[in-house]
């Protein structure tokens, strides 16, 4: 199976955690359709951890919890499919999942066949409780092979959090997405931390194996399983825009039945979704931030400190010749950012400049004197779709 765009959808973990059940899943499927999110591209409805009993049955199969899913997983899957959506589930490469339910270690082919029988279209595959003697690349290859031979097309979403230098081996496993980060929570500090970590992995983005920055917290507003402080509307906009500029999967984590107008406006932003889903899926690059390594190293010579990234302008070449430009301010005060067009290949000698359209306001403007200048408030961003035009 090959996928050409980062997956979009909804996952239960951020809001519901262990309090997941078939009613929530089916009502969320209804809401994806009724709210218009399905028409925007959100298609996967994914059940995360805590869906099963604590022990396998006599056949060695994982058993859905009959209190949470009294009609079984095939019933839920059929309902999701009846809405024109796709169905996703969760397992783990270890002996246990992160919440201590049965993992898929040594049961990869059994579980893959079970998921196929239930009509699963997407598998999030976590990395807790794996034997320390077995390397991650081996465990993910095992499940990659099991899914490839289960008789059904299933998106393989590897979730090893970037551990063991995941970026260097994950494409070997058959995974369609790979988590480059630890878990997100509903706070500005978490969003900022995950965004800053991306300077270490931008060159490992790639079509067919997409860099996953973890799920969205837009619209959680301090409620739910990973709630901490919640975020302002500006912070949620910055969160969504950075994920889109990086080409991350866009997996909603809020309770869609309670999502407010601000959250829906962010999640439905057509220009940002088009940037995220651009078919060329070219690597984003920083045009005003120096990639300065901290000189501290592990004994093996590996750099381990994060890159500094308090403000930046990102660029990404799109499939039709346009350029996505994202200016981001992670500081607690206002900033004025600038970058020369020469840094994206438009030197003065070309006779060209950029016509900018704002993703938030739709207003257009032109870059003058070969320099992009953007003023941003604290924790704010601006994203433009830019056309190359004559001066």
Catalytic residues: 126, 183
Name the helix (H) or strand (E) containing 32. Answer: helix 22-34
Angle separating helix axes 22-34 and 73-82, nearest 10 degrees:
10
Find tokens 């994950």 and name the residue. Answer: 170
**What Å distances lie between residue 197 and 25, 37, 246, 304, 355, CA to CA?**
32, 29, 12, 11, 30
Strand partners, 353: 389
The length of the chain in residues reads: 391
Q: Where are the beta strands (DSSP E) in the chain?
A: 8-11, 44-46, 86-92, 122-126, 155-158, 177-179, 186-187, 210-212, 227-230, 250-252, 285-286, 311-317, 323-329, 335-340, 352-358, 364-366, 371-376, 381-390
Query: Do residues 364 and 357 make contact, with C-beta atoms less than 8 angstroms apart?
Result: yes
Coil vs helix vs strand at 373: strand
Q: For 247-286, where are the alpha helices, taking DSSP H only?
A: 261-267, 270-276
Residues in Cβ contact with 215 at an 8 Å cutoff, skipping those fewer than 6 apart: 11, 13, 14, 184, 251, 252, 253
Phi-psi region of 50 (alpha: psi -120 to 50; beta: other; left: phi over 0): left
Phi, psi (deg, nearest 5) at residue 12 = -80, -20
Q: Compute the half-sphere exposure of residue 244: CA atoms within 13 Å on the CB side of its CA.
A: 33
In angstroms, the CA 267 to CA 264 distance is 5
Query: Do residues 123 and 86 make contact, with C-beta atoms less than 8 angstroms apart?
Result: no
């Amino acid at each position: 199976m090959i996928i050409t765009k980062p997956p979009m959808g909804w996952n239960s973990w951020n809001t519901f955690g262990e309090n997941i059940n078939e009613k929530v899943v089916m009502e969320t499927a209804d809401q994806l359709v009724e709210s218009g999110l399905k028409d925007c591209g959100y298609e996967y409805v994914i059940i995360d951890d805590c869906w099963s009993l604590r022990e396998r049955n006599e056949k060695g199969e994982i058993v859905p919890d009959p209190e949470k899913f009294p009609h079984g997983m095939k019933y839920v899957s059929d309902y999701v499919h009846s809405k024109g959506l796709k169905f996703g589930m969760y397992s783990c490469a270890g002996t246990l999942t992160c919440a201590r339910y049965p993992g898929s270690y040594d049961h990869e082919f059994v579980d893959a066949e079970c998921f196929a029988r239930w009509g699963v279209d997407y598998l999030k595959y976590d990395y807790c409780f794996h034997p320390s003697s077995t390397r991650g690349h081996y465990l993910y290859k095992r499940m990659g092979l099991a899914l490839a031979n289960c008789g059904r097309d299933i998106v393989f979403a590897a979730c090893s959090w970037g551990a063991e230098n995941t970026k260097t081996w994950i494409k070997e496993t058959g995974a369609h997405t790979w988590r480059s980060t630890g878990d997100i929570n509903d706070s500005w500090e978490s969003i900022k931390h995950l965004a800053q970590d991306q300077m270490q992995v931008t060159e490992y983005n790639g079509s067919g194996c997409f860099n996953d920055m973890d799920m969205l917290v837009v619209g959680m507003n301090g409620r739910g399983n990973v709630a901490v402080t919640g975020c302002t509307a500006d912070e949620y906009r910055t969160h969504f825009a950075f994920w889109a500029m990086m080409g991350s999967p866009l997996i909603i984590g809020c309770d869609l039945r309670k999502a407010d107008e601000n959250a829906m406006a962010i999640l439905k932003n057509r220009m940002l979704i088009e940037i995220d889903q651009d078919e060329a899926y070219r690597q984003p690059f920083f045009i005003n931030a120096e990639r300065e390594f901290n000189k501290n190293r592990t004994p093996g010579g590996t750099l381990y400190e994060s890159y500094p990234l308090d403000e930046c302008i990102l660029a990404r070449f799109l499939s039709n010749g346009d350029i996505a430009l994202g200016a981001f301010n992670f500081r607690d005060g206002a900033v004025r950012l600038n970058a020369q067009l020469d840094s994206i290949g438009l030197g003065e000698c070309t006779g060209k400049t950029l016509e900018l359209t704002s993703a938030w306001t739709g207003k257009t403007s032109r870059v003058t004197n070969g320099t992009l200048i953007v003023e941003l408030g604290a924790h704010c961003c601006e994203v433009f779709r830019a056309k190359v035009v004559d001066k």
